[in-house]
């Protein structure tokens, strides 16, 4: 049975996973990753594509790629084939280095985009290779923190969802990244299995909007949580900086992301706050009362301080 045609969406963002054949290592030493990065940078430039995030693991790679006129498959094929030829010359081997078909998932919402960023950058931690994401030298996390510069990586798109000011954006991004992901983020339309329903090449239909998958609307979620604390939407949307109000906003923002209802930037706009303020409130609540983020309720003393 022939494989389904991949869908090309000009301007679309894709989560790309390229694995070593039979899960074998594709990088043996640091210089291998250096060579891979050179090939990636050249392919991006030649095909007008943009790389927003990456993580080079030992036997697979993750990339968040935005394409334009050239289809993703053509770009990834060039990266993989050129690196494979170089790698096999070093070891005098033959055969396929990578699996024949890469995994490509179309990123459809901002909430999935941010969850995906965190998932990609937490990969080395979840694999037991490092303690915190910034300790891993072969992901884009260090660039987002301002610890490394790479001209072929674009960070403005993601950082801009937190704040227009670079320093505050990085501070909010750092706070956001401290929240460990539970598992690989599932785009709307996912089956809940290892391979989502909207993996391109397995399905040629474009993903549906999150609302059509049965997710709560942001206002419905916010109103329900606000009512638990005796607050109203008017109060949440006011200019008040009272601590207990900020913490309820943080709970709403957290649960909105978990449910796929909205992004941090969506919640910030709805409440007239900055993304940095929402992120810092979430970070503060995680330290003082982490259970509130999942239960939706803060301690009595939190409501009076």
Q: Using one digit for the tens of pLDDT, what is the confidence trace for 152-167?
A: 999 998 998 888 888 9
- Could you tell me if 50 and 99 are in contact, meaning their C-beta atoms sit under 8 angstroms apart? no
Q: 136: pLDDT confidence band, cut at 50, 70 and 90?
A: very high
> Distance between CA atoms of 199 and 1, rounded to whole angstroms?
18
pLDDT score, position 113: 85
pLDDT score, position 201: 30
pTM more than 0.75: no
Q: Could you tell me which residue, 280 or 140, shows the higher pLDDT?
A: 140
Please state which of the ranges 5-9, 110-114, 176-180, 245-249 shows the lowest mean pLDDT. 5-9
What confidence tens digit (pLDDT) does each residue in 199-252 have? 333 222 223 333 322 234 677 788 888 888 889 888 999 988 898 899 899 988
> Distance between CA atoms of 107 and 145, rounded to whole angstroms?
23
Which residues have C-beta within 8 Å of that of residue 61, sequence separation ≥ 6?
A: 16, 17, 18, 26, 36, 54, 55
The answer on pLDDT for 23 being more than 60 is yes
> Distance between CA atoms of 129 and 145, rounded to whole angstroms?
20
- Could you tell me if 168 and 132 are in contact, meaning their C-beta atoms sit under 8 angstroms apart? no
Please tell me whether residue 221 adopts helix, strand or coil conformation: helix
| CATH class entry, domain 215-303 | mainly alpha
Q: What six digits make up the tokens of 67?
A: 């394409």
What confidence tens digit (pLDDT) does each residue in 86-116 have? 887 776 565 567 877 788 888 877 777 888 8
For 13-210, CATH number?
Answer: 3.30.70.1290
pLDDT score, position 87: 85
Q: Name which of 215, 248, 247 is nearest 233 in CA terms.
A: 248
Query: Looking at 161-218, which runs of residues are DSSP E strands?
Result: none
Q: What six digits make up the tokens of 286?
A: 């995680």
- Could you tell me if 250 and 282 are in contact, meaning their C-beta atoms sit under 8 angstroms apart? yes
Q: Could you tell me which residue, 248 or 258, shows the higher pLDDT?
A: 248
269-293 b/e (C-beta count within 10 Å ≥ 16 → b): ebbebbbbbbbbbbbebbeebeebb
pLDDT score, position 37: 96
pLDDT score, position 300: 37
Strand order through the sheet with 103-107: 50-56, 60-66, 13-19, 103-107
pLDDT score, position 120: 94
pLDDT score, position 66: 94
Phi-psi region of 216 (alpha: psi -120 to 50; beta: other; left: phi over 0): beta
pLDDT score, position 7: 72
- Listed by start position, the domains of the chain span 13-210, 215-303
The answer on pLDDT for 10 being more than 80 is yes
Q: 283: pLDDT confidence band, cut at 50, 70 and 90?
A: confident
């Amino acid at each position: 049975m022939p494989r389904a045609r991949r869908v090309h969406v000009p301007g679309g963002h894709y989560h790309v996973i390229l694995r070593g054949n039979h899960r074998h290592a594709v990088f043996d030493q640091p210089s291998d990753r250096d060579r891979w990065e050179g090939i990636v940078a050249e392919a991006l430039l030649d095909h007008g594509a943009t790389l927003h995030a990456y993580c080079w693991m030992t036997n697979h790679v993750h990339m968040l790629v935005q394409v334009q006129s050239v289809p993703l498959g053509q770009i990834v094929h060039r990266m993989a084939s050129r690196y494979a030829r170089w790698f096999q010359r070093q070891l005098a081997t033959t055969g396929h280095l990578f699996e024949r078909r890469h995994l490509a998932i179309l990123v459809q919402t901002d909430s999935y985009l941010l969850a995906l960023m965190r998932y990609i950058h937490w990969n080395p931690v979840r694999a037991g290779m490092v303690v915190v994401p910034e300790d891993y030298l072969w992901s884009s996390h260090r660039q987002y923190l301002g610890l490394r510069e790479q001209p072929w990586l674009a960070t403005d798109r993601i950082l801009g969802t937190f704040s227009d000011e670079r320093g505050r954006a990085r501070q909010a991004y750092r706070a956001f990244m401290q929240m460990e992901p539970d598992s690989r983020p599932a785009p709307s339309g996912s089956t809940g299995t290892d391979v989502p329903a909207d993996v391109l090449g397995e399905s040629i239909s474009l993903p549906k909007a999150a609302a059509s998958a049965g997710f709560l609307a942001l206002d419905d979620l916010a109103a329900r949580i606000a009512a638990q604390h005796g607050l109203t939407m008017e109060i949440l949307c006011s200019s008040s900086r009272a601590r207990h109000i900020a913490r309820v906003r943080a709970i709403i923002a957290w649960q909105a992301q978990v449910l796929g209802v909205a992004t941090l930037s969506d919640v910030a706009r709805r409440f007239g706050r900055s993304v940095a303020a929402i992120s810092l409130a979430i970070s503060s609540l995680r330290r003082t009362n982490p259970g509130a983020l999942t239960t939706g309720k803060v301690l009595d003393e939190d409501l009076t301080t």
